[in-house]
Chain A
Amino acid sequence: EIVMAQSPATLSVSPGERATLSCRASQNVNNNLAWYQQKPGQAPRLLIYGASIRATGIPARFSGSGSGTEFTLTISSLQSEDFAVYYCQQYNNWPPEDTFGQGTKLEIK
């Protein structure tokens, strides 16, 4: 099983500042990596797939980078609605055996 490790567990950032979230895979997942945002009481929302492709309707302040085992989600200028929990997910294998990271909570500083 591919293990996904996210860091930090909690990130405190002020509105308007940049946030950088990390995700590391225990083995090569190529660019088969997605990022999701989840707010309390809501289903996750797809932000990024293919490591760097923004999903439909996602603002340009969200960007993803990386390949192989190291990935980054950057939010360039935090808005109030961006404070949430963020998960990475790998979907590299077939037959599928997707795995998620444990999440990074982005909180207001």
Chain B
Amino acid sequence: QVQLVQSGGELKKPGASVKVSCKASGYTFTTYDLSWVRQAPGQGLDWVGYISTNNGKTYSAQNLQGRVTMTTDTSTSTAYMELRGLRSGDTAVYYCARAPPPTEAAGLDYWGQGTLVIVSS
């Protein structure tokens, strides 16, 4: 069965960086892309970005451009999301989610369990 398993929670100080991993299994990694979505405590869902697992091309939310990097390691079917220059407003649960290729516009059908990132001094 399809699974996305994320790394554990993190506590970081303001200005630090965090790197969250998302290991996929149960399907061919490069046939689907991945999106990252975050959710601040008690708030709604915010799209962070998208990575093509086929060619590594990335797209990120305008308000995070310059601070977020998304990568993949196809040899281990793992995606990574690194966020730099952390601020208190980055405190959130970060989700990876499987996205269809651009030719098959559809929703995010499988989600990781979420990784809580807390930014606090």
* Chain A contacts to B: CB under 8 angstroms: 1, 32, 34-36, 38, 43-46, 48-50, 53, 55-56, 87, 89, 91, 94-103
Contact = CB atoms under 8 A, between A and B. Distances in A.
A51 B41 CA distance: 28
Interface of B: 35, 37, 44-47, 50, 59, 61-62, 95, 97, 102, 105-109, 111-114
Given A97-B47, A100-B47, A46 B109 contact: yes
Given A34-B106, A43-B113, A97-B61, 6 more contacts: A34-B108, A43-B95, A49-B107, A87-B44, A97-B47, A102-B44
Given A32-B105, A36-B107, A50-B105, A44 B50 contact: no
Nearest to A33: B107
Nearest to A101: B44
Contacts of B45: 36, 38, 44, 87, 89, 100, 103
